[in-house]
């Protein structure tokens, strides 16, 4: 199976900020490029953090400690963080750090889950050394979830069940509703269940996988030689 990864859709022409920039520099960049946030990089291109419109607004919201009523619902730590940014004069103090990032080989589904988990609108894409390669936004990822349930179901059956696990198409019942895939039925071996779930979760457009699978043979207690064989098989499947 081959599915799109972050590198396939990321924007490589990224507007960036430097640690020494001041408030007005960032405000200008955001307004001029009509973007809501930019990564902050050092001289080697490594991502230090992200500065966004929200960070700039925090700078303007509180100017002194005389207006604590502005934050009646914030915890002590949250209010303190906002007040710290309210006095910030450079990007180093304004930015949110560490930045939430993704790697270029991560799937679009994985990137979308990271974005949802951390409630962010953009993810810098970094290499193994932490250097900026590109950026992927919420809008870039929306297309992943526009696939129809029928298309997702067909790919689960064709690619996961038939081509990868070598099963007959109707061995397992596959139902898809709103991107959530439910797998029901009985597989031959217990070790096939996590493989089926993992491979299904990697399909573009899958939001969640619900496991209603059983097995006939518990192969979790195989002899060492047999475990090695199954380990090779599982490693091969992970690379698909």
Name every residue whose Cβ is closer than 8 Å to that of residue 204 and which is 6 or more positions away in sequence. Answer: 3, 4, 107, 108, 109, 144, 147
Average pLDDT in the chain = 83
33 or 77: which leads in pLDDT: 33
Q: Where are the beta strands (DSSP E) in the chain?
A: 37-41, 47-52, 122-126, 132-137, 172-177, 180-189, 208-217
- Domain parsing of the chain, residue ranges: 6-144, 147-238
The two structure tokens encoding residue 145: 């979830």
In 3D space, the residue among 127, 215, 112 whose CA is nearest the CA of residue 171 turns out to be: 215
What CATH number does domain 147-238 carry, 1.10.760.10, 1.10.1270.20, 1.25.40.10, 3.30.1340.30? 3.30.1340.30
Enter the DSSP assignment of 62: -
Q: pTM of the entire structure?
A: 0.62
Confirm if 61 and 86 have CB atoms less than 8 A apart.
yes
Q: Cα separations (Å) of 202 from 103, 125, 176, 207, 237?
A: 16, 19, 15, 10, 12
Q: What is the pLDDT of residues 139-162, one digit of tens each?
A: 888 877 788 999 999 999 999 999
Cis amide bond preceding 98, omega within 30: yes
Contact at 8 Å (CB) between 92 and 22?
no
Query: What residues are paired with 51 via a beta bridge?
Result: 38
pLDDT tens, 175-189?
999 999 999 999 999
**CATH code reported for the domain at 6-144:** 3.10.580.10
The whole-angstrom separation of Cα 42 and Cα 131 is 9
| Residue 137: strand pairing partners | 122
Residue 94 pLDDT class (50, 70, 90 cuts): confident
Instruction: Give the model's pLDDT for residue 114.
Output: 92
Which residue, 70, 71, 63, is CA-closest to 87? 63
Q: How confident is the model at residue 109 (pLDDT cuts 50, 70, 90)?
A: confident
User: What integer is the mean pLDDT of 210-235?
Assistant: 70
Helical packing angle, 23-33 and 53-61, nearest 10°: 140
């Amino acid at each position: 199976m081959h599915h799109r990864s972050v590198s396939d859709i990321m924007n490589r022409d990224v507007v960036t900020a430097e640690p020494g920039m001041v408030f007005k520099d960032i405000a200008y960049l955001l307004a001029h490029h009509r973007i809501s946030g930019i990564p902050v990089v050092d001289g080697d291109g490594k991502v230090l953090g992200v500065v966004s419109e929200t960070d700039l607004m925090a700078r303007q919201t509180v100017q002194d400690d005389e207006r604590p009523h502005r934050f009646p619902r914030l915890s002590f730590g949250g209010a303190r963080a906002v007040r710290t940014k309210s006095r910030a004069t450079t990007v180093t103090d304004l930015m949110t750090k560490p930045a939430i990032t993704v790697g270029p080989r991560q799937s679009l589904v994985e990137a979308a889950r990271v974005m949802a988990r951390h409630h962010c609108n953009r993810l810098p894409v970094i290499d193994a050394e932490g250097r900026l390669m590109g950026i992927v936004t919420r809008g870039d990822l929306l297309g992943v979830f526009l696939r129809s349930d029928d298309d997702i179901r067909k790919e689960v059956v064709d690619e996961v069940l038939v081509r990868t696990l070598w099963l007959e198409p109707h061995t397992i019942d596959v139902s898809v509703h709103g991107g959530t895939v439910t797998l029901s039925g009985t597989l031959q071996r217990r070790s096939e269940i996590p493989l089926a779930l993992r491979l299904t979760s990697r399909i573009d457009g899958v939001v969640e996988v619900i496991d209603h699978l059983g097995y006939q043979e518990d192969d979790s207690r195989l002899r060492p030689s047999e475990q090695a064989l199954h380990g090779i098989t599982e490693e091969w499947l992970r690379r698909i």
